[in-house]
Amino acid sequence: MAARQFAIITDWAFDAPIERVWALIERTDDWPHWWPAVLAVASMRDGDARGVGAVRRLTWRTALPYSLSFDVEVTQIEPLAFIEGRATGELDGIGQWTFAALGERTHVRSDWRVEVTRPWMRALAPVLRPAYAWNHGKVMAWGEDGARKRLAAETLVPA
């Protein structure tokens, strides 16, 4: 694997049913409301009835002093099980979300196989690889914490 390529896996587990967790992750447009690292989500194109073909431009802040913007086109969806997207822009590659019900709990796996594309990031990737991985871990931890809080708040709202 070239130094500028990254394969990063993150696992989350929630005390919530898969339907609620799926709805939270699948609604990308709402991410800025609960995921502190997501500064903006812009709809570039709608997809089909299931969402395949939809394109969103995501702008992220990170724990390090830089931000990233990239487009993600949804390439596959299997409801309550799997979402795949193709990232282009300041990241290039494939991202996947996998969901598994464990009784009333839900396991979520994020699997990114991407390359950085900014010239300075590509040039420094061999040296900064550990920092990039740490940074990704922080961004994902913010997401997990935000998702946990959002899921807990949703249970407090009367039906």
Query: How far is it, in rounded angstroms, from Cα 49 to Cα 67?
Result: 32
DSSP secondary structure string, 86-152?
EEEESEEEEEEEEEEEETTEEEEEEEEEEEE-SHHHHHHHHHHHHHHHHHHHHHHHHHHHHHHHHHH
**pTM, 2 dp:** 0.91
Per-residue confidence (pLDDT) for residue 6, from 0 to 100 = 87
DSSP lists the bridge partners of residue 101 as 106
User: Tell me, which fold does domain 5-156 have in CATH?
Assistant: Alpha-D-Glucose-1,6-Bisphosphate; Chain A, domain 4 (3.30.530)
- Find, among 82, 63, 102, 73, the residue nearest to 25 by Cα: 82
Quick one: pLDDT at residue 2? 61
Mean pLDDT split into 10-residue runs, the chain, 159 residues: 78 97 96 98 96 97 95 98 98 97 95 94 90 95 97 72
**pLDDT at residue 1 in the model:** 47
